[in-house]
Structure 1
Amino acid sequence: MRALRRPGAGQLLLLLLLVFNLLPIYFIVENSVKTPLEFASSTLNFPQTLQWSNYGVAWEKIGGSLYHTSVIIAASIVAIVAFSAMSAYAFSKLRFPLQNALFLLVFGLLLIPGFLTLIPLYLQIKKLGISDSYLALILPYIAGGQAFSIFVLKTFFEQLPDEIFEAARIDGAGNIRIFSTIVLPLSVPICTTVAIINITSLWNDYLLPSLLLNRAHQTVTMALVSFEAAAGNYGLSDYGGMMAAYLIAAVPLLLLFSLLMRNFVEGISSGSIKM
């Protein structure tokens, strides 16, 4: 039998970093089942009695917003991945006039800070008359996610052997068939990576939804901010309910990462994204 190796300095350092990363999760979990009095007495000690009613209060505050956010994010991500994949395929495997110039324009969009386009975007959404609806966020999210996604997917598609596409064209396959039967199946990991990165940024977005949506269609970030403001009024802070709401809002992302982690790691290790 092999002798058990003692953990090295690098492993101990990673273990220490893991503990520090888990501390915020422990803080949220144990404070989500506390009464206001227990929270005021100590924020680190685990409560003697578990206040599960905090989760009921939290769900009443953010349950509907989770549905709105899920609809907006799902529609946006499907469109972002689909459109960016088609554009990346065209930039990487097809030849057309002004190809390099157009790609430089797309890449240049990554250099423009988002807040510079905030006021024109707000005015355009109001002019179109789609504010206070899902489209008010879905359309900007689709447009805003294209530049980064096209850049990443183009880098990956360029690594695919040209011989595969030449053989498909010899057999009579067109670009649509090549894209649907060859490119997409080979790019599932990198498309998953692009989707997860976009989901993370869109799920946590607060500024744009707060400008374009009303309370009837509010996202989870808007609901959390409203809950936090209401819970702190008149010194009656419901920190237990707030922590429960934060935990509930994080569960969809945690489940997503746990289900798609393998594809995410494969997409990262494919060489298309340099972390």
Structure 2
Amino acid sequence: MTLAATAPTTPSGERIVIRRGRRQTGVHISLTVLALLGLAPYLFMLITALKTNQQYNQSFWAISFPLHWENFGTAWVQVQPYLVASLTVAVVSAVGIIAVSLLAGFVFARFRFPGRTLLYTLIAALMMVPSIASLIPLFLMMRDFQLLNTMAVLILPQIAGGAVLGTILMRSYIEGIPQSIFEAAMLDGAGPTRLFRSIVLPLSFPVIGTVLLVTIQGVWNDFFWPLLTVTDNSLRTVSVGLLFFQGQSGTDFGPMFAGYLIASLPLLILFTFFSRYFLAGVQGGLPGSH
């Protein structure tokens, strides 16, 4: 009968293991606390959305029974037009930004032409111009083009502004694609159009997902421009529409918080499905490399 060999342990080694375990426990506790703090507003919205005004006044923080799920139906009727307007602006803006910035990024990353560096520097310099500085000229331009109170006044500035960041992200990402892939394709007779369609577009899904999320988040959170340029209630985006919804339901807390919760769900669902591409695009990796 033989005894299995065991690795010798020393007091210093045990102290290192204990110290490492305590450090990991501290990290887990800290991350749990941060997650709970981040989720606390949504939990409060959900609890409050299921209350009547009487329940809200009697139990501010706690769950109160019976739960009033009909508040979501009331909120949906009023918030639904704002969601449709926001989705329309977000989708059209995202498609326009991705099309413009992907083509521009491909040209800046893979072509050499006179003035290339200067032109890209001017585009990058636009990142340093605060949006508030161009607000009045942009408003006057939209007024002269008679685009106020139309869907175009919400979409065109989003495309123009978002294409700047999109071009920078696309160019940096496309430059990270190995040159050998392009050289092999060109040896097979592929031209610029084929390179873009068969190589750049399929490999750029991560950065496209990043630009898509940034664009939709920007549209969803944009408040001052839609408030300034749109007065038609059917054209109001969700950020401005919730302001008017709050004015209409300011004394009815259940539907009001239900409306806030419904308005936040599209971003949550979108990030859930595109988070992998978003993280890969930020890290500059290719699909399947993470």
Task: Work out whether the TM-score is over 0.5.
Answer: yes
Specify the alignment match of 2:270 in structure 1: 256
1:6: how far off? 10
Candidates 205, 217, 220, aligned match of 2:235: 217
Specify the alignment match of 1:84 in structure 2: 101
Contact 1:36 1:240 in 2 (8 A): yes
Specify the alignment match of 2:224 in structure 1: 207
Cα root mean square deviation, aligned: 1.8
| Equivalence map 1:4-153=2 (5 Å) | 8-153=25-170
Q: SS of the counterpart of 2:60?
A: coil
Contact 1:27 1:43 in 2 (8 A): no
Candidates 215, 219, 226, aligned match of 2:244: 226
Q: What is the CA deviation profile of residues 245-267 of structure 1, one whole-angstrom value per residue up to 9, with x for unaligned ones?
A: 01100111111111112222222
Which blocks of at least 5 consecutive residues in structure 1 are unaligned? none
CA distance in 1, matches of 2:23, 2:173: 40
- Sequence identity (%): 35
CA distance in 2, matches of 1:94, 1:24: 49
| Equivalence map 1:148-163=2 (5 Å) | 148-163=165-180
Contact 2:85 2:234 in 1 (8 A): no
1:5: how far off? 10
CA distance in 2, matches of 1:132, 1:148: 26
Q: SS of the counterpart of 1:145?
A: helix
Q: What is the CA deviation profile of residues 145-198 of structure 1, one whole-angstrom value per residue up to 9, with x for unaligned ones?
A: 011111111111111111221222222211111111100111101110121112
> How many corresponding residue pairs?
265
CA distance in 1, matches of 2:144, 2:234: 20
Q: What's the TM-score once normalised by structure 2's chain length?
A: 0.87
Amino acid aligned to 1:270: G
CA distance in 2, matches of 1:129, 1:169: 47
Q: SS of the counterpart of 2:284?
A: helix
CA distance in 2, matches of 1:55, 1:66: 14
